[in-house]
């Protein structure tokens, strides 16, 4: 068979799967088996172990508010270590491999430092490597912005690199190798009797990921859905099937497929703002301009011509949000900006919810019976999310997971 006719497989290894020599050798041997099975192989890797966290800590040891460009320059080094070490490891099996950074792989992105989005991929160097029979190993999590600066793609962004490359290369499968057997009904680190889900739709996975299930980055699922990339999440430790993420058609999904928990949340309230047109627009436009993503939003009904606007942001954006809000509060004549950075978001997700009533009521009752106060609620066709105190989060996850019959 000619090289060009073979199917392309994209394999992504997360940080835990490349954290040391033993893991690198294991990952390399998986890559080599796939190559020997007759595929053209593109590999995407994350930084080893917790290196990205450590690099961020090093920047924060110097300054509270590190410059985005330099932070990206620093964070991108982690993935670069992995590509070189994995290539060296693959070569020891007698298979040729070449490492490429995100920019070398032709990954272009928007200019927002630390959370850029991929805009286009020109993978000619990747294709050239494949055409010469090499395994091509690409650094995840990074790209080049229109100013030709290195940017990173948001935490967990290697998943996005893998899926976007799979789409750009018309690859049939994107295999995500991680430290769990697949996607579970909830985080198995919190609820030990969580169960592995064999198949899940893009929509349900998107909500699970968006609600904080770290196993897949939410934006990677958006891209997979858009381009029809089939994802298989599995462990790099054993050879066994994991979770397939695919089109919903023909799939039987339970009413609730999973419970997500995100403690990376902070709640902000702008108090006593005048009840006038344009107030919400001013607040949220200013936050958007600084790339602060807002999640849940609640506006109380007005009393004496004043109301309160509350919303959540991720904890790492809290400082930025507060500094954006202060001048606006002043301009609007609002009383104060209150914040609580000890809240968490608990969500139930399931495509089956669309046709079942009473799902939200059941979740609220479980929390009420346990004396857990709900501070904010948001719902969609396939999700109910509640903001609660972080200190009650783990207990809440366990209770809700059990109430919907998701345990073993």
* Closest separation in Å from C-beta 82 to ligand ASP: 9
Q: What is the DSSP letter of 196?
A: B
Strand order in the sheet with 97-100: 97-100, 135-139, 40-45, 8-13, 173-178, 230-235, 243-246, 199-201
* Closest separation in Å from C-beta 159 to Mg ion: 6
The binder of 16, among ligand ADP, Mg ion, ligand ASP, none, by C-beta within 5 to 8 A per type, is ligand ADP
- Please give the torsion angle defined by the CA atoms of residues 23, 26, 31 and 34, in that order, rounded to the nearest 10 degrees: -150
The binder of 213, among Mg ion, ligand ADP, ligand ASP, none, by C-beta within 5 to 8 A per type, is ligand ADP
- Please give the torsion angle defined by the CA atoms of residues 372, 377, 378 and 381, in that order, rounded to the nearest 10 degrees: 60
Q: Is 227 helix (H, G, I), strand (E, B) or coil?
A: helix
The binder of 254, among ligand ADP, Mg ion, ligand ASP, none, by C-beta within 5 to 8 A per type, is none
The binder of 189, among Mg ion, ligand ADP, ligand ASP, none, by C-beta within 5 to 8 A per type, is ligand ADP
Point out the residue whose Cβ comes nearest to Mg ion. Answer: 156
The two tokens of residue 112 are 């927002």
* Closest separation in Å from C-beta 212 to Mg ion: 12
E-state strands within 275-353: 294-299, 306-314, 336-349
* Closest separation in Å from C-beta 394 to ligand ASP: 23
Between CA 382 and CA 349 the distance in angstroms is 6
* Closest separation in Å from C-beta 58 to ligand ASP: 14
The binder of 52, among ligand ADP, ligand ASP, Mg ion, none, by C-beta within 5 to 8 A per type, is ligand ASP
Binding residues for ligand ASP, rule: CB under 6 A, are 14-15, 46-47, 52, 78, 140-141, 155-159
The secondary element (H helix, E strand) that includes residue 162 is helix 158-168
* Closest separation in Å from C-beta 218 to ligand ASP: 12
* Closest separation in Å from C-beta 300 to Mg ion: 37
What Å distances lie between residue 404 and 162, 257, 358, CA to CA? 33, 9, 12
Q: Could you give the count of Cα atoms lying within 13 Å of 318 in the half-sphere of its Cβ?
A: 18
Counting every residue written for the chain, the total comes to 408
Binding residues for ligand ADP, rule: CB under 6 A, are 14-17, 46, 156, 178-180, 183-184, 186-189, 213-215, 258
Q: Quick check: 103 binds Mg ion (CB under 5 A)?
A: no
- Closer Cβ to ligand ADP, 55 or 298, answer by number: 55
Q: Quick check: 156 binds Mg ion (CB under 5 A)?
A: yes
The binder of 186, among Mg ion, ligand ASP, ligand ADP, none, by C-beta within 5 to 8 A per type, is ligand ADP
Integer-rounded Cα radius of gyration of the chain: 22
Q: What is the DSSP letter of 61?
A: H
Residues that bind Mg ion (CB under 5 A): 14, 156
């Amino acid at each position: 068979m000619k090289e060009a006719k073979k199917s392309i497989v994209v394999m992504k290894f997360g940080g835990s799967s490349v954290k040391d020599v033993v893991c690198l050798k294991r990952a390399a041997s998986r890559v080599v088996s796939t190559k020997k099975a007759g595929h053209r192989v593109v590999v995407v890797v994350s930084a080893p172990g917790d290196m990205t966290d450590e690099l961020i800590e090093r920047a924060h040891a110097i300054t509270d508010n590190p410059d985005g460009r330099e932070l990206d320059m620093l964070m991108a080094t982690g993935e670069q270590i992995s590509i070189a070490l994995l290539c060296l490891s693959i070569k020891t099996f007698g298979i040729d491999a070449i490492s490429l950074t995100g920019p070398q792989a032709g990954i272009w992105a928007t200019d927002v430092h630390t959370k850029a989005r991929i805009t286009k991929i020109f993978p000619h160097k990747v294709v050239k490597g494949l055409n010469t029979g090499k395994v091509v190993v690409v650094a995840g999590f990074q790209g080049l912005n229109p100013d030709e600066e290195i940017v990173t793609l948001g935490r967990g962004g290697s998943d996005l690199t893998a899926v976007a490359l799979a789409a750009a290369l018309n690859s049939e499968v994107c295999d995500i190798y991680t430290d769990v057997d697949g996607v579970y009904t909830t985080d198995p680190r919190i609820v030990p009797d969580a169960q592995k889900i064999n198949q899940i739709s893009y929509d349900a996975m998107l909500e699970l990921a968006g609600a904080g299930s770290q196993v897949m980055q939410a934006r990677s699922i958006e891209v997979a859905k858009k381009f029809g990339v089939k994802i298989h999440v599995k462990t790099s430790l054993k050879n066994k099937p994991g979770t397939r993420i695919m089109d919903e058609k023909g799939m039987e999904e339970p009413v609730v497929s999973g419970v997500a928990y995100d403690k990376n949340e902070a709640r902000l309230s702008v108090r006593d703002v005048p009840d006038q047109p344009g107030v919400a627009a001013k607040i949220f436009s200013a936050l958007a301009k600084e790339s602060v993503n807002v999640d849940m939003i609640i506006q109380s009904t007005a009393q004496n011509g004043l109301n309160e606007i509350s919303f959540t942001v991720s904890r790492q954006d809290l400082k930025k949000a507060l500094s954006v809000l202060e001048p606006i509060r002043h301009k609007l004549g609002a009383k104060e900006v209150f914040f609580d950075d000890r809240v968490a978001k608990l969500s139930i997700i399931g495509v089956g919810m669309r046709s079942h009533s009473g799902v939200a009521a059941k979740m609220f009752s479980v929390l009420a019976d346990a004396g857990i106060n709900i501070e904010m609620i948001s719902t969609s066709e396939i999700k109910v999310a509640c903001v609660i105190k972080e200190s009650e989060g783990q207990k809440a996850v366990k209770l809700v997971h059990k109430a919907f019959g998701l345990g073993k």
